Amino acid sequence: MTEKIELGEISIAVTRKGIKNVHLSVHPPHGRVTLVAPTATRLEVARAYAISKLGWIREQRQKLAAQARETPRKFVNRESHFLWGRRHLLTVVHADCKPYVSLDHRRMILTVRPGSNAAKRADVMHEWHKTLLHKQVPPVIERWEQRLKVDVRGYFLQRMKTKWGSCNHRAGHIRLNTELVKKPKDLLEYVIVHEMVHLIEPTHSDRFISILEEHYPTWREARAELNELPLTAEAWNE
């Protein structure tokens, strides 16, 4: 059961799990706050901890509020689109052929049939993004399977509104947000490693953190960079 701590304008959702330490998180995009505490923790103790961290909570929320956001994409000429962390200007070409996307230096060329609307152009771009990710993801998984001694039975790509990735540890599957194609490749690797560690430890426990620390010591920097990059214009449901 989830309980609430109300601290002025800040509402904190409290849950208890079989962990050793308290984990306080401020989630993008709107600054939702959660506190995960050891099972035996009394609510008054959790509240006192949250009060001690109020300055940090407000600082994180301010960072999220100031974070750059993409304006809604219209898929028109000279619009900015990101790929692997680099900005490209879009050129739209009309041709009576199967739609496709190509790159020419810093230009991204979207070839579509005459009369195509923004929704159709978005679909073409999304399919291209998935194609690019399907080329990048398997080698990363294979490399980290050997390091972590785990077996990824399958991976899936999809639009995800609130997460960069997820893991079904029972099935041995991981899911990745297609928005990752817009971020630098090392951040894609971080998300893949994060989800693969969940195959060893399903929760964000101390054990999970220690495994991540051992194999990917720069994970905190990667997470911070990922959350500082522009958010998609799509509405996030929390």
Other residues' Cβ atoms within 10 Å of the Cβ of residue 138? 12
d(CA 105, CA 125): 18
Strand-by-strand arrangement of the 154-158 sheet: 154-158, 173-177, 165-168
What is the percent of the chain where pLDDT is above 90? 73
- 91-95, 111-115, 234-238, range with the lowest pLDDT: 234-238
Average pLDDT of the chain?
Answer: 90
Distance, CA of 196 to CA of 138 (rounded, Å): 13
Tell me what pLDDT residue 21 has: 86
Residue 68 CA: distances (Å) to CA of 53, 71, 219, 237: 25, 9, 22, 18
Average of per-residue pLDDT across 94-121: 95
| Residue 60 binned pLDDT confidence (cut-offs 50, 70, 90) | confident
Does the pLDDT of residue 227 top 80, yes or no?
no
Are 154 and 145 a contacting pair, CB within 8 Å?
no
Lowest average pLDDT, out of 30-39, 40-49, 57-66, 106-115, goes to 57-66
The pLDDT of residue 1: 66
Alpha-carbon span 95 to 111, nearest angstrom: 7
Q: What type of residue is 11?
A: S
Domain-by-domain residue ranges, the chain?
3-66, 80-228
The residues, ordered by sequence, that sit 6+ positions from 151 with a Cβ below 8 Å of its Cβ are: 145, 172, 199
Structure-model confidence comparison of residues 224 and 45, the more confident one:
45
Per DSSP bridges, beta strands 165-168 and 173-177 are: antiparallel
Backbone angles phi, psi at 236, to 5 degrees: -95, 130
**Cross-strand pairs, 12:** 5, 33
With contact defined as beta carbons under 8 Å apart, do 46 and 14 qualify? yes
Q: Beta-carbon neighbour count of residue 222 at 10 Å?
A: 20
CA 219, CA 211: separation in Å to the nearest integer?
11
Classify 13 as helix, strand or coil.
strand
**What tens digit of pLDDT does each residue of 197-226 get?**
999 999 989 999 999 999 999 998 888 888
Helices (H) and strands (E) in the chain, counts: 6, 11
- CATH architecture assignment, domain 80-228: 2-Layer Sandwich (3.30)
How far from chain centre, in Å, is Cα 89? Answer: 24
Residue 190 in tokens = 């971080």
Distance (Å, whole) CA 8 – CA 36: 20
Arithmetic mean of pLDDT, 170-175 = 96
